[in-house]
Structure 1
Amino acid sequence: MRLATLEGKRRWINGGVAALAIAGVAGLAAAALILWMVGDPMVAGGFLAAALVVAGVGGALIRLAGRSGEPVSVAYDWELMRVMAEASADGVAITDRGGRLVCANDQYEQLFAGFPTPPSVPLAGDGAGELEVAGRVAWRDGHARVTLRGAVGVIEATITRAGQQQDVLIWRFAGRAVAPGMPARLMEALEGPLGIQLGAAGVMAALITAEGYVIAANAVLRSRAAVSSEQAIVGEDLARFLVEGEGGTVRFVAEGVSANPLRLVQIPLADDADAPILVALIDSDAGISGSADGIEALLMLMPFGVALVDREGRFMQMNSAFARAANVDVGAPPIYPGDLVVREDKGAVADAIRRFASSAARSTDLAVRLKDHPDDPVALSIAAARGLGDAAVLLSLKDNGEENRLKREVAQATKMQAVGQLAGGVAHDFNNILTAIIGHCDLMLMRHSPGDSDYDDIQQIRANSNRAASLTRQLLAFSRQQTLRPQVLQLPDVVSEVSNLLRRLMGETVTLEVKHGRDLGPVRADPGQLEQVVVNLAVNARDAMLSKGTGGKLTIQTRSVPIAEIRRRGDIVPLGDYTALEISDTGTGIPADVLPKIFEPFFTTKEVGKGTGLGLSTVYGIVKQSGGFIFADSRTGQGATFTIYLPVHTAGVPDVVSVAAQAQQAARHRSGELWGTGTILLVEDEDMVRAVAERALARQGYTVLAAENGEAAMELMQGVDRPALVISDVMMPLMDGPTLARQLRKIHPGIPILFMSGYAEEQLRRSIDLDNVAFLPKPFSVQQLAEATRDVLLAQEGGNVAA
């Protein structure tokens, strides 16, 4: 930030002298007028005395101000202005009444390559004059706006009059400097060694904006294009210095009509229409031999694939970016460009090259499919090349692999989120049904004993309902809406707990190897859910290895993650500290067309009836809900590796332990009895769940007041004593559970609340800003309902006693 001292001068002293003189004369005139009208010398003398007093006081003030000998400054908090200016993404400058620059931010310096004083900033054409006019308008009207053209393209300038005395102008320039990266490096190179090398080879090169304004140029181009040594071409329209000749050539205006004609080649630096363009100018009579080294250096500097093709349609030269994008060896390229694409696109590529090689057409883009990855079309740009010796066509190919990968991952994440929301809603409704089925089975079992004819049937119904409940838990895990009990733990401990089970599951033909890294950071996750992740991945790996018929080796490894590995994963994984859990096998691998689909719900490659397709979906949901990331890497025939990144837990973040868990731990040692007394308000919008819960609580000795929604519950509570406990569903029409709880606590402060829901407790707690609430996940049995009710009441009783 550049700061300068702004000295404001008060000009009221001279004006004050004049004003006081006028006041004295006016007083004398008033006294004379009153004497003539009234004829009373006393009254006239009073007016004269008042005028003299005013003049005397004013004179004293003027002498005091003059005694200081210094002008009074208008105080500005330049440090505050500096901070505010730096916070802006635009270039900001402040000038005073004298037109001096008193403040400018770093963006301003970057935009104009220094600190020129507005309006004398480098602009194309008569931009400085337009800016000066806008400045005068701002002084007059308080505000002005003008659109200009600079060395980097269009600039929007906004000028505002401001300050305590309206004595400064704030200039805001919204433009874009050349972004860091290849264009910026190319700017430096053209004005440095590369520009000198190209000039020695007879190549004049410039970097221009999409509108044609010069950003940078090598010395030979600047010297030949300018009329005089004082004329600058940077920031000017390159077309101003050129005139079109015959046969598609151009020449410099400054060199006259007899100047040597030039061949011009334009190379866009990106697919974006606003991207900078590299322009090369070569004397038409210069052969390629004189500039081959410069052209090769220029090609190798390109940030995307560039190749030269001769008039016969054969490759002459290509840079490493082109070879990498086309997946060919730069030392042994194919003969023809058509050899790179699928058979269906060969004809279109050959025709386009033939047309551009024999005409002066500028450029075109073709969407082609490369033989190595035919599913991902790429953009092949074809342009006529002139003045490059035997080269007739210039090809550019952008490597879209990383971009396509990111697009697929974003599409996958979006699809998973949409399906997850659907799965969560289905699981929630299904949990209500299962709660009613399991509850009615429990009530029926209370009237039947082992040996009864119906007892086994009821048990079978209950067992199947529990199996269905496990399926809904998988759906909730996939949709990231299951109830987790996160703890701070070490991944090796989780692997050790499950390794004995895995050895039994793997069988005799699969070898299990466990390796742990050093200095692993702790993670925060549900250990039970992480064990499920390990088991699911291990079982999938075992099946893949057994399908080969020879078994194999399963490796489970925990390790710390270097930051370079996180960067290689792209923008999907934020930079930070992670601990990795890696599970790899020596199985058949995952085909490339199957790999993007493996985490989709209900997708399976197993035979019908041998897989639900929810195993990897569940893994994906658990990892995501734990704040981690999972990646699958595989090559057909070489096995697969699943890598899970979990963020390292930082100290000071408390673990989430539900109120129900705390109450349960406090109550278990106090009583094993489920019977109780007192009034319970039960609120549930599902009739079948409400009926089961009401009967179950009544059988345990409680008095139950049942309501179908929150509004009905509030009406039911009118004229009723405070209940001992409120058991409420979370999601209900009209008035949901949290709103009901807040209303009830206004009437009965501190009343205990037990929420029941088919959604995840952790997810609900983030949206419920209530203290001292317990949670019971659906589906639940009659016994689980009775235990949760008892635990909350005992915890409340203990809290009251403690209080």
Structure 2
Amino acid sequence: MTNSHSRAPGFARVLRWISASALRIYLVFAFLAVFPILLFTLYADRVLTREAERLEMAESNQVARLSAVMVEEHFRSVTIYLQAFAARPLIVDSFKKRDFDTIFREMERARRFMPTLSLISVYDPDGTLRMISPLDPAVINRNYQYRDWYQGVARSWTPYVSQVYRTTADPQHLSVAIAVPLRDAEGNLIGIVAAAEPLGRISEWLRSVTDSGRRAISVIDRNGALLASPVIDVTKPPVDMSAYDPARRAIAGGEGTGAFTAADGARQYAAYMPIRSLGWGVVVEQPDWIVHARVTDARRQNWTIAVFFMLLSLASGALIARLYRTQQQLTTQVSDLTGSEARYRSLIQGATYGIYRSNEKGFVSVNPAMVRMLGYDTEAEVLALDLGRQLYADPSQRQRLLTNYKLNEVVTSEELRWKRKDGSLITVRISGRTVPDGSGSGYSFEMIAEDITERRHLEQQLRQSQKMEAVGRLAGGVAHDFNNLLTVISGYNEMSLDALPPEHPARRELEEVRKATERATALTKQLLAFSRQQVLESKVMDLNTVLSSMENLLRRLLGENIELSIILGRKLGHVKADPGQIGQVIMNLAVNARDAMAATRGGKLIIETANVTLDDTFVRDRLSLKPGPYVQVSVTDTGAGMDDETRTHIFEPFFTTKPAGSGTGLGLSTVYGIVNQSGGEISVYSELGIGTTFKVYLPRVDEPAAEEAATPRAGSHVQGKETILLVEDEESVRTLTSHVLRRFGYEVLAATDPPQAMRICRENRGRIALLLTDVVLQKMSGRELAEQISAVEPSIRVLYMSGYTDDAVLHHGVLSAEAYFLQKPFTTDGLARKVREVLDTPAQSRL
């Protein structure tokens, strides 16, 4: 008994120890089996989440970049188009003449060409609206000085993009205004051209960029106002995003991605990108729950598997099988995440800009827009190109770019010259980034390319037009000053000749002075023709008649070794121009052709007329023309031809390729001025060793040709006793004119400026028969002075004189049929006869 009872407690302790050991072994085994599974599951969960976040922010960054480029390039294109519109001479001249009907028609054409604009309007410098398209009479003459776009342009005279507002044409939708200065030829601000861009259209573009609708794209202005978004309600006031961190960073010029907390406390993954040229920004957001939801199923299954494996830790075979199936499910989830990359590829394929990836060997991938830009039929043709030899016009340019791009991660606005399939050259602007390839030993380039060939051509046309306008204004000013000097020289020389007897020895020297004065007068007339400031007496005429009457003269001018062929168009339309000046155009072109064929000892000259109709496509690159019917005169020679450098300078005054002393260099510049002043345009095509063709386009008019009127012979009676009020601010011209008029018996009251002339008129009311005034005076024009004096003396007659004709006074240099005009320099006899002619004409309004 004693032994039995003594063994029982020991056995129980052994059993308890064994049970405790088994529990320890089980716990140890369970720990060793569960802990690796738990660590693996936590690691897989973290990897999956990070991969989802990385792919999301990478895709959002690409979408933000593409959105910023699309918005920036669109507004840049609109701004350049508005600048070209505002710089057109037709718009500037019509605005100065207050011809708003013409401006309205041109604005309608501009809206058809740029359909994204909801309206275009023009304003005076003080902000008063003068014309709007589409037409809204209710807002015309309303002042818009308070608008930020007006203040921006008025302050800096540069283009300005406004804050968000609502237009009167579309008050239910938000818009921004793009405003550019309207300048005259001297560069002065004479008005403002503004256009409205509806933000709803930008929102539509963004809908095409984003995916199923979860990702939000926001375009914000410089003040943080939400301008456009695929989900914005454009009928409500804009949302203020200035307090949102990604928006604040974007408009401050920052670029990046990250996780942020929105104003409502929601967690967002966002990418932000500045639109630097506008001061705007782009923010692309995706709620974190959407990103995490992509891997929620995989995470749930991972944890289910982990728990299952922890419960069945001894079933190693089942564990391995389950891990394999879990791996398969993870692969499926990763495949779902990469599906977003497929959607991004779809976006690339549908983009309107060329998008490509390349490396040092060539193109790796291109989108369809890139294939179309280069003129190829298939993507395979483009991928097979040798870039240095078949794409770049200058192969060394590609090598330089490769070297520079390896040192810079971002590529911004590089302009290149590429070759299309047909061999034609285009100008492209590329932007993008440089990225290392997968091996880490090389680089690839992700780029966006835009064809800006037509834009650069328009800019070149604008610069050439501005240069010719500046040179012409300088030439006209010089000619005007010379005409004043020549008037004095010619006048005193004539009086000196009249005072000397025929046998006086000094007459020979004075005759030489007279001849030199006549040559100088001819030279100033050529300068005035180029500067479009000469006086034209326009008539409706038939160019066939003009050419027929000149044929014998042209044959004598060309000589026997040049064959002349004149081909007259059938039923040729009429033009309105100065017949003498048009004859000068034909004569100058013929002389130019004769000199070009001198080296070849002869050739053939063909002059041809024809009716042509110019469409929008033809006049798009010719700023001075508008679509419609024209009469074309072409002059073709078989001379030596010209190279491109010579062709760009031939219309500049004093430019000549002839030897020194063989020409003035004013022949073609005179042609240029006469054609442009007549409302037409001249173009030139030439090839070295083949010849040259000049084409003159003059507007066709539906009026009968004017009959030639016999020129009445001036009477011999030029004396008078009337009182003449002379207004001339040039002292030497005023002194000479007064002296000449007094010699012919007139009483002269001389004034140096309009205020003095008004004072003399009031003091001599009823005595003054004629006002003889210069066109261009200080403080007011001659026409304005004539109007004020006519209010005091209604019966007074008016005679204008000038070294050139001011555009605003005499209709762009064309002499009005009602106004009497005396061109400087004039002779003493010419002055006396013109004064007598005006005084002998019955009084009527001829201002």
Pairwise TM-score range, normalised by the shorter structure: 0.5 to 0.7
Could you tell me which residue of structure 2 aligns to residue 323 of structure 1? 374
Whether contact under 8 Å (1:148, 1:154) holds in the other structure is no
**Structure 2 match to 1:262:** 338
Identify unmatched segments of 5+ residues in structure 1.
Answer: 1-79, 95-105, 114-121, 128-144, 160-207, 213-234, 246-250, 267-277, 283-294
Distance 1:112 1:311, change over 3 A: closer
The answer on 1:150 being equivalent to 2:229 is yes
Give SS of 2:701's match.
coil
The TM-score, its normalising length taken from structure 1, stands at 0.60
- 1:691 counterpart (729, 735, 750): 735
Matched to 1:677, the amino acid is K
Provide the aligned length of Structure 1 versus Structure 2: 571
Deviation by residue 1:740-788 (Cα, 9 ceiling, x = unmatched) = 3233223221210111111227652249999964211111111110111
Structure 1 residue 689: deviation in Å? 1.5
State how 1:442-461 maps to structure 2 within 5 Å: 442-461=494-513
Does the Cα contact within 8 Å between 2:362 and 2:385 map onto a contact in 1? no
Paired residue for 1:379? 429
Match of 1:681 among 704, 717, 725: 725
State the partner residue of 2:769. Answer: 724
The 3 A distance-change label for structure 1 pair 262 and 91 is farther
Residue 534 of structure 1: CA displacement? 1.6
- What amino acid does structure 1 have at the position aligned with 2:749? L
Q: Is the 8 A contact 2:629 2:699 kept in 1?
A: yes
Contact 2:217 2:283 in 1 (8 A): no
**Structure 2: which amino acid aligns with 1:729?**
D
Per-residue CA deviations over 1:556-609 (Å, capped at 9, x if unaligned) read 333323426635646553222222222222223221122222222222222222
Distance 1:352 1:554 in 2: 54
Distance in 1 (CA, whole Å) between partners of 2:232 and 2:436 is: 27
**Alignment match, 1:777:** 823
Q: Which stretch of the first structure deviates more once superposed, 524-533 or 539-548?
A: 539-548
In 2, the alpha carbon distance for the partners of 1:669 and 1:507 equals 35
Please list, as runs of the form range in 1=range in 2, the aligned pairs for 1:186-205 lying within 5 A after superposition: none
Q: How far apart are the structure 1 equivalents of 2:481 and 2:685? A: 36
What is residue 226 of structure 1 aligned with on the other side? none
Instruction: Call closer, same or farther: CA 1:380–1:565 in 2, change over 3 Å.
Output: closer
Name the amino acid aligned to 1:617: S
**Which position in structure 1 is the counterpart of 2:386?**
335
Q: 3-state DSSP class of the match of 2:635?
A: strand
Cα pair 1:92 1:108 within 8 Å, conserved: no
CA distance in structure 1 between the aligned counterparts of 2:384 and 2:571, rounded to whole angstroms: 47
The 2-side partners of 1:154 and 1:411 are apart by 43
Question: Which secondary structure does the structure 2 equivalent of 1:577 belong to?
Answer: strand
SS where residue 414 of structure 2 aligns? strand
Out of 741, 744, 752, the residue aligned to residue 797 of structure 2 is: 752
User: Which stretch has the larger CA shift, 534-543 or 781-790?
Assistant: 534-543
TM-score (norm 2): 0.57
Amino acid at match of 1:731: V
Structure 1 residues 739 and 673, CA gap change in structure 2 (3 angstroms): same
User: Partner amino acid for 1:92?
Assistant: Q
Q: What letter matches 1:576 in structure 2? A: G
Show the counterpart of 1:26.
none
Partner of 1:790: 836
Partner SS state of residue 647, structure 1? strand
How far is 1:795 from its partner? 0.6
Out of 559, 569, 583, the position equivalent to 1:507 is 559
- CA distance in structure 2 between the partners assigned to 1:352 and 1:541 by the alignment: 50
Which residue in the other structure is 2:307 paired with? none
Change (3 A) 1:523 1:86: farther
Determine if contact 1:630/1:644 at 8 Å carries over to the other structure.
yes
- In structure 2, the CA distance between the partners of 1:375 and 1:322, relative to structure 1 (3 Å rule), is closer
Partner residue, 1:412: 464
8 A Cα contact 2:722 2:746, kept in partner = yes
- Bigger shift: 364-373 or 627-636? 364-373
Residue pair 1:153, 1:209 contacting (<8 A) in 2 also: no
Could you tell me how far apart the structure 2 residues matched to 1:503 and 1:209 are?
74
Aligned-pair distance for 1:344? Answer: 4.3
State the partner residue of 1:523: 575
- The structure-2 alpha-carbon separation of the partners of 1:498 and 1:244, relative to structure 1 and needing over 3 Å to count, comes to farther
For the pair 1:640 / 2:692, whether they are aligned, the reply is yes
Question: Identity rate of aligned residues, in percent?
Answer: 32
Aligned residue number for residue 534 of structure 1: 586
- CA pair 770-574 structure 1, distance change in 2 beyond 3 A: closer
Offset of residue 236 of structure 1? 11
The letter for the 1-side match of 2:615 is I
Give, in whole Å, the separation in 2 of the partners of 1:633 and 1:767: 29
Q: What residue in structure 1 maps to residue 491 of structure 2?
A: 439
Shift in alpha-carbon separation, 1:434–1:383, aligned structure 2, 3 A: same
Q: How far apart in 2 are the matches of 1:241 and 1:573?
A: 58
Matches within 5 A, 1:202-241: none
- Using a 3 Å threshold, how does the CA distance of structure 1 residues 370 and 590 change in structure 2: closer, same or farther? farther
| C-alpha spacing 1:500/1:316, structure 2 compared with 1 (3 Å) | farther
2:756 is the counterpart of 1:712: yes
- Measure how far apart 1:429 and its partner are: 1.1
Matches within 5 A, 1:463-482: 463-482=515-534
Contact 1:123 1:150 in 2 (8 A): no
- Which of 685-694 and 774-783 deviates more? 685-694
Q: Which position in structure 1 is the counterpart of 2:187?
A: none
- Mean Cα deviation higher: 744-753 or 712-721: 712-721
Q: Give the Cα separation in 2 of the matches to 1:495 and 1:381.
A: 56
Q: Which residue in the other structure is 2:787 paired with?
A: 742
Shift of 1:312: 3.1
| 1:457 CA drift (Å) | 1.8
Cα offsets for 1:174-205 (capped at 9, x unmatched): xxxxxxxxxxxxxxxxxxxxxxxxxxxxxxxx
Structure 2 partner of 1:402: 454
SS of residue paired to 1:501: helix
Match of 1:598, SS state, is coil
AA partner of residue 262 (structure 1): T
**Whole-Å Cα distance in 1 between the matches of residues 467 and 166 of structure 2?**
40
Equivalence map 1:103-114=2 (5 Å)? none
**2:625 paired with 1:573:** yes
Work out the CA distance in 1 between the residues paired with 2:284 and 2:294. 13
The answer to whether the Cα contact below 8 Å between 2:526 and 2:666 also exists between their aligned partners in 1 is yes
Q: 5+ unaligned residues in a row in structure 2: which ranges?
A: 1-134, 140-164, 175-196, 205-212, 219-223, 239-270, 276-281, 299-329
Change (3 A) 1:126 1:456: closer
Higher relative contact order (CA 8 A, sep 6+): 2
Residue 719 (structure 1) shift:
4.2
